[in-house]
């Protein structure tokens, strides 16, 4: 029942200060010229899709539809030492030099505004705090509402709306400071978590399981054959899927691949890169809200079975506000102990209703 389990949500309004505005002047240079050319070529007014409204609509919806068992906490900025476990110092110095500025970082539309560096430090700090709370059992599960997201950020490069790789910073923190030996990261965002994969590519003690829409969909990586290298060979697991994949396909991968992989790996912490763009309204995959409930419950069960329930989720993508807010709400209800609906193929309930509606027309009265 909802309220049976305790959930901590980490959120902090400093993450709203990251708001690149395309109409504002950016640091001039080659990248700015190229991005301007691309934007002008679109022929429509383009707004930065990873905007503060994503976070504020989640918070507003949660205050209008509170969930028993869910409580809230603020965040803190991640330190240079914490960030440098997964990013190079030269990258971090370059990012630091942009504090207070508006600048483009990549033609894939990654940009910063004057409040962005502070926001990104607080987002990585939220992932760290979520992990500490999960390991110390301050709540039965923890969800960090991180923004900007993190899973595209590489050791030396900001990409795909991401500055620092929040979930990777959290995993490295768990290993360095919290006594966790093996960390499982599950990335269910519809885009491949190229940055997380890159960071832990040769690490045997971090298993990275990523289910996503297959290349050439952004960022173009995450092929089946990408399994890690060296000592880490076998601890990177990619499940590339067609865009038509729905709830049943997603859960088939979780049951048939993630469950045995987790039993083999025996993690002592499970972290989740929770993106909400698999929902069909976001046009990446064809899932409903119910798949988020089922993935969440399966991860709760795996965490209970292998790591004393230690489970922390970090927000990644999700750009359709309705899909994002309802998806986060569905996950939190499940974390709090909510019941699972039966998963059915899209359209089945409608066909059943239509069957009931039409069948009488094909029956003789005496039957
Ligand atoms: Zn995504």
267-287 pLDDT, tens digit each:
999 999 999 999 999 999 999
**Residue 256 binned pLDDT confidence (cut-offs 50, 70, 90):** very high
pTM, rounded to two decimals: 0.96
Average pLDDT value over all residues in the chain: 96
At residue 84 the predicted structure's pLDDT band, cuts being 50, 70 and 90, is: very high
Position 227 scores a pLDDT of: 98
Residue 245: pLDDT above 70?
Answer: yes
Helix (H, G, I), strand (E, B) or coil at 161: coil
With cut-offs at 50, 70 and 90, classify the pLDDT of residue 261.
very high
Distance 93 CA to ligand 1 centre (A): 27
Residue 45: predicted pLDDT: 86
Domain 7-356 class, CATH top level: alpha beta
Q: Which residues are catalytic?
A: 152
Q: Is the pLDDT of residue 144 over 60?
A: yes
Q: How confident is the model at residue 335 (pLDDT cuts 50, 70, 90)?
A: very high
CB 178 within 8 A of CB 132: yes
**Separation between Cα atoms, residue 35 and residue 50, nearest integer Å:** 16
pLDDT of residue 46: 86
H helices present in the chain, as ranges: 30-42, 53-64, 80-83, 89-96, 116-135, 166-177, 194-199, 247-253, 259-265, 289-306, 321-335, 348-359
- The H or E element spanning position 271 is strand 269-274
**What's the gap in Å between 220 CA and the centre of ligand 1?**
12
* 241 alpha carbon – ligand 1 mean position (Å): 14
Answer yes or no: is pLDDT of 366 > 80. Answer: no
Give distance in angstroms: CA of 176 to centre of ligand 1.
28
Mean pLDDT of 210-214: 98
pLDDT at 367: 54
Quote the CA–CA distance of 356 and 350 in Å, as a whole number.
10
Query: By mean pLDDT, which of 29-38, 120-129, 160-169, 172-181 is the weakest?
Result: 29-38
pLDDT at 115: 96
Give the per-residue pLDDT at 267.
98
């Amino acid at each position: 029942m909802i309220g049976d389990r305790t959930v901590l949500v980490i959120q902090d309004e400093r993450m709203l200060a990251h708001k690149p505005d395309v109409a504002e002047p950016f640091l001039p240079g080659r990248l700015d010229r190229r991005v301007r050319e691309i934007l002008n070529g679109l022929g429509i007014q383009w707004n930065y899709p990873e905007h503060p409204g994503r976070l504020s609509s989640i918070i507003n919806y949660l205050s209008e539809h509170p969930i028993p068992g869910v409580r809230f906490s603020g965040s803190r900025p991640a330190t240079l030492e914490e960030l440098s476990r997964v990013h190079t110092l030269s990258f971090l110095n370059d990012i630091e030099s942009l504090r207070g500025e508006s600048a483009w970082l990549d033609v894939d539309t990654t940009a910063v505004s004057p409040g962005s560096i502070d926001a990104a430090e607080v987002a990585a700090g939220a992932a760290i705090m979520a992990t500490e709370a999960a390991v110390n059992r301050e709540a039965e599960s923890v969800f960090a509402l991180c923004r900007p997201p993190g899973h595209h950020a590489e050791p030396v490069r900001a990409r795909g709306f991401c500055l620092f790789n929040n979930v990777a910073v959290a995993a490295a923190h768990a290993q360095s400071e919290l006594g966790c030996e093996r960390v499982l990261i599950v990335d269910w965002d519809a885009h491949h978590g190229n940055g997380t994969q890159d960071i832990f590519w040769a690490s045997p003690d971090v298993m990275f399981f990523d289910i996503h829409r297959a290349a050439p969909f952004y960022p173009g990586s995450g092929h089946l054959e990408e399994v890690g290298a060296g000592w880490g060979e076998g601890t990177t697991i990619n499940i590339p899927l067609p865009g038509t994949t729905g709830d049943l396909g997603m859960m088939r991968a979780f049951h048939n691949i993630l469950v045995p992989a987790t039993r083999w790996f025996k993690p002592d912490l499970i972290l989740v890169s929770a993106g909400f763009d698999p929902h069909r309204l976001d046009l990446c995959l064809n899932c409903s809200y119910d798949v988020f409930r089922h993935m969440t419950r399966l991860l709760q069960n795996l965490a209970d079975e292998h790591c004393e329930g230690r489970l922390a989720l970090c927000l990644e993508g999700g750009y359709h506000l309705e899909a994002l807010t309802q998806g986060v709400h569905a996950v939190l209800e499940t974390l709090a102990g909510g019941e699972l609906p039966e998963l059915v193929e899209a359209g089945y309930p409608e066909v059943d209703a239509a069957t009931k509606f039409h069948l009488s027309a094909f029956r003789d009265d005496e039957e």
